[in-house]
Structure 1
Amino acid sequence: MTYESLLIDAENKGLRVKEKKLKYNLKGLYKNSKILIDKSIETNVERKCILVEEIGHHETSFGNIIDDNDINNRKQELRARRWGNERLVKLKDFINAYNNGVRNKYELAEYLEVTDEFLAETINHYKRKYGTYYELDNYLIYFEPNLGILKLI
């Protein structure tokens, strides 16, 4: 999924997306069906990772969650991030990458067109959700100690 296709998806959900210089080191912001992406972000890969989380807020959050001292706000932030993780990186993508010769996390981030940070968060999300490994289509996807794929016979 590209940044452009994600923009179309946002538009289809009735969201308006605008790039604008943001303050306070914010990279993205969602409010009332409007998404702002920091204009200073240099790559579409990073824009895509920010945009998917902001769409996740539209899909999963409610109210003003700016105050990150509030535990409920942090939970909503995490829920939106996890939604975005699963939206951009499916478990099957790990298997496809393996079958296409991808052998390390840097190659994987490039293959999936996500940032290294987004990939690390996604792997941690799946590890929390499924534990050490997950079996899918005759493959074991290991999340710990490092991401790995094992084809079952």
Structure 2
Amino acid sequence: MDTYLYDVANEHNCYITQNKTKASKSFVMETDDMYYINIDVSRIKTSAEKKVYLAHELGHCISGTTYTINHSKLYRGSAEYKADYRAAQLLMPINDLRDCICKGITERYDLAEYFNVTEKFVERALYIYGNKGLLENLEFTL
């Protein structure tokens, strides 16, 4: 696992644990100006998947979009989108992605391998970057 994500966690007052849970593979909680991220590594198959889950939870911390089940579905959807956007910025910075595309690395599986993330995450990052107009002027089809 890249130590980079742990450095980001420290910068944003995030404490990371790796405990088994029944609820989900990962989650974040906020209390007393501190974030607690848990990654259940027993339920995660690859280093790329672990990296994506950690970056997503960090995305919640960075964007300040933690929530509870009492929040509206609309708020939760917005929070997930913002967390994914921050995760994309961490794992697939737009300038690095643009460089890959300009070099002809455009297949999702090739991008996933290059950035050591999951193909599903590549799809999400491309969708978000596309919505934000950050992939304009590139020879690339979403």
Q: Which TM-score applies when normalising by structure 2? A: 0.81
Q: Which structure has more RCO (C-alpha within 8 Å, separation ≥ 6)? A: 2
Separation in structure 2 between the aligned mates of residue 126 and residue 103 of structure 1, nearest angstrom: 14
Q: Mapping of 1:1-153 within 5 angstroms?
A: 2-24=1-23, 26-32=24-30, 33-40=35-42, 41-62=44-65, 64-66=67-69, 70-98=73-101, 102-130=105-133, 133-135=135-137, 140-142=138-140, 144=141, 146=142
Tell me the C-alpha RMSD between the 2 structures.
2.4
Shift of the alpha carbon at 1:61? 3.1
The 3 A distance-change label for structure 1 pair 67 and 22 is: farther
Indicate conservation of the 8 Å contact 2:9/2:58, yes or no.
Answer: yes
The amino acid of 2:13's aligned partner reads: G
Indicate conservation of the 8 Å contact 1:17/1:36, yes or no.
Answer: yes
Q: Which runs of 5+ in 2 are unaligned?
A: none
The amino acid of 1:130's aligned partner reads: G
Q: Name the structure where strand makes up a greater proportion of residues.
A: 1
Q: Which TM-score applies when normalising by structure 1? A: 0.76
- Deviation readout 1:19-68 (Å, 9 max, x if unpaired): 111213x1211112110011221222111111111111112235533457
Shift of the alpha carbon at 1:76? 1.2
The 3 A distance-change label for structure 1 pair 126 and 71 is: same
- Deviation readout 1:84-116 (Å, 9 max, x if unpaired): 112211222223324656352211110111110
Separation in structure 1 between the aligned mates of residue 66 and residue 37 of structure 2, nearest angstrom: 15
Q: Percent identity?
A: 25
Q: Which residue of 2 aligns with 1:149?
A: none
Larger radius of gyration between Structure 1 and Structure 2:
1
The count of residues paired between Structure 1 and Structure 2 equals: 137
